Structure 1
Amino acid sequence: MVKVGLLLRLEAKPGKEADVADFLTKALPLILAEADTTAWFGLQVGPSTFGIFDAFPHEAGRDAHITGKVADLLRATWTDMLSCPPIIEKASILAAKLPES
């Protein structure tokens, strides 16, 4: 059961949309290595607007993700590809449907 999540909004600089899409695609193998990241989605919701939603079974999993490799990579590269800092919101998950493992 997932109980907590993160919702990030990423706004690409003009001409950097492909870089943000590439970042999200290349992040997946790093996410797959995170045992407590139960669900992770890299999203594009507009021409220059992207997002990430991820879900975790507990706070410790979310905390590990926030200090993990993808977060480090985003912190190191966001000024090159985003027009403003990522908007990051912590979420409590009230209901979820996930594939059975």
Structure 2
Amino acid sequence: MTVKLGFLATLEAKADKGDELGAFLRAGRELALAEQGTVTWYAFRIDQTHYGVFDTFQTEDARDAHLAGEIPAALAAVAPDLLAAEPSIRPVEVIAVK
């Protein structure tokens, strides 16, 4: 299995919403498991209000399907309540994997 592509997303929660954003991301794991083209999906906490997601894909089609899928739609639905700023979602190229 060769992953070549990914997304790196960073999210900033509103001051009193960090725990809720963390819970939302934990629940997102179930959605990620259902995505056939998503090879890996990591959600992580940087500090009390900053979180991130890193996911990988073998093909551009799989990455595009993820971006058009349930996880971004769910994030868009909760963003006004949970996020202090627009999420930063950047496509990345995976250059090495262990």
- TM-score interval, smaller chain: over 0.9
Q: Does 1:40 align with 2:16?
A: no
Unaligned runs of 5+ in 2: none
Counterparts of 1:32 and 1:96, CA distance in 2: 21
1:59 maps to what in 2?
Answer: 60
The residue that corresponds to 2:20 in the other structure is 19
Q: CA-to-partner distance for each residue in 1:46-68, whole Å, 9 max, x for gaps?
A: 12100000000011011000011
Shift, 1:96, TM fit? 1.1
Root mean square deviation, CA, Å: 0.6
Alpha-carbon offset, residue 75 of structure 1: 1.1
Opposite residue 50 of structure 1, the aligned amino acid is: Y
Unaligned runs of 5+ in 1: none
Shift of 1:41: 0.3
1:2 corresponds to 2:18: no
Distance 1:34 1:96 in 2: 21
The CA distance in 2 between the partners of 1:45 and 1:94, in whole Å, is: 23
Q: Please give the alpha-carbon distance, in whole angstroms, between the structure 1 residues aligned to 2:4 and 2:41.
A: 14
TM-score calculated relative to the size of structure 1 = 0.93
Are positions 1:74 and 2:75 aligned together? yes
Kept in 2, the 8 Å contact 1:79–1:85? The answer is no
Give identity over the alignment, percent. 36
Q: CA deviation at 1:13?
A: 0.1
